[in-house]
A and B are shown apart, each in its own frame.
Chain A
Amino acid sequence: MIYLRQVLAHLRKDLRLEWRSRDSINGMLFFSLLVVVVYSLAFDPTGYPTTTRQISGGVLWVSILFASVSALNQAWTREQRNQVLDAHRMAAAPASALFLGKALANFLFVTAVELVLAPIFVVFFNLHPLGQTSLLLLILPLGTWALVLNGTFFAALGLRARNRELLLPLILFPIAIPSLLAMIQATTAVLTGDDMLNPLLWIQMLAGYDIIFTIICLLLFDTVLHAE
């Protein structure tokens, strides 16, 4: 119960900081919209059935991924300013609570961007899902959690590195490949209605990935926070 209260305290703090600065959300929104618009110009959305529908799942996740990375790189900047991170390192609260609060906050920020992005994406790509649309309600949160969880963790890992903005994508992308594959395939399956791509199988894989990496990140974060 105390642990939950501490996680919520971190989450509330991050939401409040973001509400006052809007650093992450504005940057992410601008970047992802730019990607969607550029891709929609590159591919003919009116030609159906075309490759547009087949690649739309990938385009959606690429725009979310790149936007997330730009925000996740800054996820710990506020903690570094004024040496607040040292206060966290000395606090009695478990380090994993700080990590979980931060990851949940990032999850909400990316979800907010997705809520704005999704309708625009549908309009620009002239889409109507041919598969089971309700599955997107599973795919989007599971995929987003996979991205922000590892992103938050590796952003913390690179805190003391000089080239941390380069380091995050360098470490994150290879580790995120299984989740990226699952989220893109599942989304494409829903959008194309292709029976050959079994979306449930990919969703199960995504859920498994989320569970495994959530446990690993929570267990290892204390070591990351207190590393010199």
Chain B
Amino acid sequence: MTQTTAVQSAVLTPAAELVSASRLFGSFAALRNVTASFPAGSCTVILGENGAGKSTLLRMLAGLITPTRGTVQVLGQTPQQSRGRVAYMSHAPMVYEELTAMENLLYFQSLQGPGCACHGSPEMALRAVGLDPHLTRTVGQYSQGMRQRVSLARVLQTDPELLLLDEPFSNLDVSSAAQMVELLADFRTWPVAGGGQRTILLTTHQHHLAESLADRTLTMQHGSIASVTTREPAA
């Protein structure tokens, strides 16, 4: 009985949780009183029109902005305390244009804390996203799609427990996007040091691409959660 409860609580433990979280930018409310819980090991796809509050929600979970009201917990701590266990990929690639992809990844790898059990080398991360690690061109000379891949490689090499992806499929062609979906599905199976589970939250306008990944689909409207759909487990 106790064992069952323990298993259930492990499954239901939220990787991220917002309680009545609001965020104001001046008088504009980007997030309005949002309460949501993202179970560990799940993949949640967040949909919504431009300005619905999707990016604000992700940035709040990443610890890049703080809520004006309410509380945010990530992996059982504040987002600031979870630094190094959470990775965030934004619209911008968050890499240096004057460096090559490999130089960028090596640099960001060196900034990981002593406790980082990084899943793979920068070379492996680049190969995983379909880039040649030996490319001598700097990122500034890459196409938008290639920059997007470098950005994904940068976050994957940090071996995060919680992966926050803001529009990861924008700028990618259909086959590259399908490859990224496969990679993300694979990422969820990577073992976590300490026995945790990997959680993904991603925003997209191309829901059909992420459909196979999504355990839950959350739709946002005017800074609030309009609906939550949970995928029925396969029979």
Contacts and interface: CB of A to CB of B under 8 A. Distances in A.
A88 B66 CA distance: 17
A86 B113 contact: no
Contacts of B103: 16
A17 B95 CA distance: 12
A179 B179 CA distance: 57
Nearest to A85: B94
Interface of A: 2, 5-6, 9, 12-13, 16-17, 20-21, 78, 81-84, 86-93, 226, 228
Contacts of B108: 87, 91
17 contacts: A2-B114, A9-B110, A16-B99, A17-B96, A20-B98, A21-B98, A81-B97, A82-B95, A82-B96, A84-B95, A86-B62, A86-B94, A89-B64, A91-B83, A92-B116, A93-B112, A228-B65
Given A2-B114, A228-B65, A90 B88 contact: yes
B94 A87 contact: yes
A84 B94 contact: yes
Interface string B106-140: 01101111111000000000000000000000100
B98 A86 contact: no
B165 to A, nearest CB: 14
Main secondary structure of the interface of B (DSSP, over half): loop
B107 A20 contact: no
Given A5-B110, A13-B107, A86-B94, 16 more contacts: A6-B110, A16-B103, A21-B98, A81-B97, A82-B94, A82-B96, A83-B90, A83-B92, A84-B96, A86-B64, A87-B108, A89-B64, A90-B86, A91-B112, A92-B115, A228-B65
Nearest to B25: A228
Nearest to B63: A90
Contacts of A20: 98, 138
Contacts of B145: none
Interface residues of B, number: 32
B67 to A, nearest CB: 11
Contacts of B88: 86, 90
A104 B127 CA distance: 34
Contacts of B97: 81-82
A6 B112 CA distance: 9
A16 B88 CA distance: 25
A7 B197 CA distance: 32
Contacts of A78: 96, 98
A13 B99 CA distance: 9
B154 interface: yes
A13 B94 contact: no
A3 to B, nearest CB: 10
B84 interface: yes
A78 B113 CA distance: 23
B48 interface: no
Contacts of A83: 90, 92, 94
A17 B98 contact: yes
Nearest to A87: B94
A147 B110 CA distance: 28
A90 B87 contact: yes
A93 B115 CA distance: 11
